[in-house]
Amino acid sequence: MQKPVEYNLPDLNGRFGKYGGKYVPETLITPLKELEEIYNHLKNDKSFQDELLKLNSEYTGRPTPLTYAESLTRHFGKGKIYLKREDLCHTGAHKINNALGQILLAKKLGKTRIIAETGAGQHGVATATVCAKFGLKCQVYMGEVDIERQSLNVFRMKLLGAEVIPVSSGSRTLKDATNEAIRDWVTNVKNTHYIIGSVVGPHPYPMMVRDFQSVIGKEARAQILNAEGRLPGYILASVGGGSNSIGIFYPFINSDTKLIGIEAGGYGINTGKHCATLTLGREGIFQGMKTYLLQNDDGQVSEVHSISAGLDYPGVGPEHSYLKDNVIAEYYSVTDDEAIEATELLSKSEGIIPALESAHAVAYLNYLMPKTKSDDIIIVNVSGRGDKDLDTIRKNLNLGQ
């Protein structure tokens, strides 16, 4: 792995090498520029950062713990495995880190209405939550298929005062919800801020969302130095759009720590039913960015599959495309079945029921651990808790009577 001496991306055009950029309709160029300017100012504004820090602490419950996984370590018989506990964040996953940052931004921009897209419903819930807290009107686009799969999260959003708008186009899942949200934003950009849920979309979103999520890696770095006096050999994180992974990777980019992202292998990467974008995708343009994409020979975006709704996305954040090409991070995949097995392993060994997304990262320990040195430290990012997935887990795991 060739680590960069200095890493300072994206460039002024919002590019990570050839990836990223702003492939949007004319009407969005000015609002994106405005967003970028205010963000660049607030990034270095002490009162904004203090306000975010205070909310992270008093509302989200940060810093989240770094837990030594003693039984899991014993299971593999070597190394030292730690878990970064984003499952303990308010609302149950890392998504709130970004939603809070962006709602503060929306207030600074003077916007009165928030829109968002959601797949599993986690980002919709995080957005509805911060809108409730700050008293802003909230509308969330969600595919009809996902509305059915995630009815509890739909109810949560409604209880929080948000309106959920069903999307019936295309595959009626996350990518279609995102298309609708972009369409809405183009029309209503004057009073509306669009809170994107991952490190995707046009510049400055991939950069902003990364910065808000990098609180995960900043904390983990300080916590592991405090616990062990050295940095980990490896960090594992699941990759959907790529926000929890870039969040924990980013503060380690200039270190010797190996950064490993795990995509959803679905039924297996030879079946055509998976979301292994970085493993099998090709460069393309999608939802405002240039990045790796799962697409057919005509360049049409593929229908994708994962047992985990949060990983069920045919694209990936452009920074990951850059990190992959330059071998700064590595990307692999595990299947639905392997994720289910890892869910049971973590539940029974550590008393922690992970989100199915996070279980993908846990599952990769089966491949990684045989290759590690006996004293290697490994951090696994537990991006969320499994409550939302219990129905799916129950259907796929026979625990007997």
Ligand X SMILES: *Cc1c(COP(=O)(O)O)cnc(C)c1O
Would you call 347 a catalytic residue per the annotation? no
Catalytic residue among 22, 84, 95, 258: 95
Residues engaged in binding ligand X (CB under 6 A): 93, 95, 120, 122, 198, 238-245, 310-311, 355, 357-358, 383-384
d(C-alpha 83, C-alpha 342), whole Å: 14
Question: What type of residue sits at position 214?
Answer: S
**What is the nearest approach in angstroms of ligand X to the Cβ of residue 242?**
5
Extract the runs of DSSP E, i.e. beta strands, from 2-161.
15-16, 19-20, 66-68, 80-85, 113-118, 137-143
Catalytic residue among 243, 302, 333, 383: 383
Is the CB of residue 150 less than 8 Å from the CB of residue 355? no
Catalytic residue among 36, 117, 219, 263: 117
Give the nearer residue to ligand X in terms of CB position, either 105 or 196. Answer: 196
**What is the nearest approach in angstroms of ligand X to the Cβ of residue 47?**
28
Would you call 308 a catalytic residue per the annotation? no
Is the CB of residue 386 less than 8 Å from the CB of residue 396? no
Helix (H) or strand (E) holding 236, with range, is strand 234-238
d(C-alpha 105, C-alpha 109), whole Å: 6
Q: What is the DSSP string of 208-222?
A: HHHHHHTHHHHHHHH
Number of residues assigned to the chain: 401
Give the nearer residue to ligand X in terms of CB position, either 93 or 276. Answer: 93
**What is the nearest approach in angstroms of ligand X to the Cβ of residue 300?**
23
**What is the nearest approach in angstroms of ligand X to the Cβ of residue 60?**
14
Give the nearer residue to ligand X in terms of CB position, either 100 or 189. Answer: 100
Would you call 95 a catalytic residue per the annotation? yes
Extract the runs of DSSP E, i.e. beta strands, from 119-176.
137-143, 163-167
Give the nearer residue to ligand X in terms of CB position, either 189 or 278. Answer: 278
Catalytic amino acids? 95, 117, 383
